[in-house]
């Protein structure tokens, strides 16, 4: 049976063989509730998702823009927590093989227990974790816990990451890295494509693993542009906003349709 790290690596290998790039949607777990999120995971898979990021709601999401902050607030009000999210992920894994990544902040992970989280996440079929506020120089214990279960710790890189920061990220990376295309909060508009493209190429040359780009991708045109120079395209705020604004009963269809349009573009 493949490890989470291997499953993630295989996504990028298969995408490259097809001349495509990985489509990676983000969904806030528990918004509007965990049962609906489970349905949206299946819709995302049907829409062409190659990897899905499951946002773990947190009360102080400092890197998130308003859309994701509000989604986290709604999810917390419904009682969404890591135990419930892992249970939902396990149920999804019984129906589909699309790799899932937990995307969140260090506090909930630490409170759960790093070793316990790694073991329970692996048992639930999670492939890796992206921790927004954990710098690579402090990631040793979490990296060790995840690695012992065959799970990836996905590092974040930014426009201000110099060669030494990229080297530190490289040490903890195992399958891919996540490049934040703006230095603001999530949901900002994607601008200055040429500058982003140049920076991504520079980092990819040093990093040596696939690099996906997120923050600010809203349309098929955005996705098409980013796919020219990145190994994967992440869509978060635009999708979470769509889920919130679509009436109950139609959310899954809307997610599938929106992601299909992005999948065609990458």
Query: Could you give the residue numbers annotated as active site?
Result: 53, 64
> Would you call 244 exposed, middle or buried from its count of C-beta atoms within 10 A (0-12, 13-18, 19+)?
middle
Cα–Cα distance for residue pair 209/203, rounded to 1 Å: 10
How far does Cα 116 stand from its chain's mean position? 21
Q: Which residue has the tokens 């917390």?
A: 76
Cα–Cα distance for residue pair 204/55, rounded to 1 Å: 25
The helix (H) or strand (E) run that includes residue 11 is helix 4-17
Cα–Cα distance for residue pair 258/177, rounded to 1 Å: 25
The residues pairing with 25 across neighbouring beta strands, listed in sequence order, are: 235
- Is 106 within 8 Å of 156 (Cβ atoms)? no
**136, 143, 96: which is closest to 115 by C-alpha?**
143
Cα–Cα distance for residue pair 100/24, rounded to 1 Å: 10
């Amino acid at each position: 049976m493949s490890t989470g790290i291997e499953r993630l690596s295989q996504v990028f290998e298969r995408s490259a063989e097809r001349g495509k790039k990985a489509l990676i949607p983000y969904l806030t777990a528990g918004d509007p509730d965990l049962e609906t999120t489970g349905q949206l995971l299946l819709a995302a898979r049907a829409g062409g998702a190659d990897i899905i990021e499951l946002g773990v709601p947190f009360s102080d999401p400092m890197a998130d823009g308003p859309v994701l902050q509000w989604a986290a607030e709604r999810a917390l009000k419904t009682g969404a927590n890591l135990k419930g999210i892992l249970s939902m992920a396990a149920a999804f894994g019984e129906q589909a093989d699309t790799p899932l990544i937990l995307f969140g902040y260090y506090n909930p992970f630490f409170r759960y227990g790093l070793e316990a989280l790694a073991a329970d996440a692996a048992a639930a079929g999670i492939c890796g974790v992206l921790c927004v506020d954990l710098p690579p120089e402090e990631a040793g214990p979490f990296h060790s816990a995840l690695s012992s279960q065959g799970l990836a710790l996905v590092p974040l890189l930014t426009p201000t990451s110099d060669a030494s920061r990229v080297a530190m990220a490289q040490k903890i990376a195992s399958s891919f890295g996540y490049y934040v295309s703006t230095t603001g909060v999530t949901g900002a508009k994607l601008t200055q494509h040429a500058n982003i493209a140049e920076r991504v190429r520079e980092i990819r040359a040093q990093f040596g693993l696939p690099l996906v780009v997120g923050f600010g991708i809203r349309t098929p045109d955005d996705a098409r542009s980013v796919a020219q120079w990145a190994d994967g395209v992440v869509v978060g705020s635009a999708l979470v906003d769509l889920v919130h604004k679509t009436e109950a009963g139609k959310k899954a269809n809307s997610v599938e349709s929106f992601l299909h349009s992005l999948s065609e573009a990458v």
